Amino acid sequence: EPEVTQTPSHQVTQMGQEVILRCVPISNHLYFYWYRQILGQKVEFLVSFYNNEISEKSEIFDDQFSVERPDGSNFTLKIRSTKLEDSAMYFCASRRQGAVYGYTFGSGTRLTVV
């Protein structure tokens, strides 16, 4: 069964540092997403990406965040200057075209900002 792959599984970074979280979506999927889950809280939408541009973003996704699809397979989330409150599990997801298809999530990257 095709999977969404995320790396690294766990990243520890110092406050103020830049981090890049990486994702390889399923190859025939066209829609890509980032979500995050702060420990003990709901899974929250960050951003959706389609046709090489952001299609929707949440209030959380401010100027510190950016996404990129640098080649045909990778999808990255960059946090420019990390804050303690950015500590969370970050999930990448992808979906095929068509409303009948569900979202496939990766296993997540646990980001710890110290």
Residue 55 beta carbon to other proteins: minimum distance, rounded to whole angstroms: 6
- 31/79 with CB nearer other proteins: 31
The two three-digit tokens of residue 105, written as one number: 């999530």
- 81/97 with CB nearer other proteins: 97
Distance CA 93, CA 48 (A): 9
Residue 113 beta carbon to other proteins: minimum distance, rounded to whole angstroms: 17
Distance CA 78, CA 21 (A): 6
Residue 82 beta carbon to other proteins: minimum distance, rounded to whole angstroms: 20
How buried is 10 (Cβ within 10 angstroms: 0-12 exposed, 13-18 middle, 19+ buried)? Answer: exposed
Residue 16 beta carbon to other proteins: minimum distance, rounded to whole angstroms: 26
How buried is 107 (Cβ within 10 angstroms: 0-12 exposed, 13-18 middle, 19+ buried)? Answer: middle
Residues found near other proteins in the complex (CB under 8 A): 6, 31, 33, 35, 41-45, 48, 50, 55-56, 58, 89, 91, 93, 99-100, 102-108, 110
- 55/81 with CB nearer other proteins: 55
SS3 110: strand
- 18/45 with CB nearer other proteins: 45
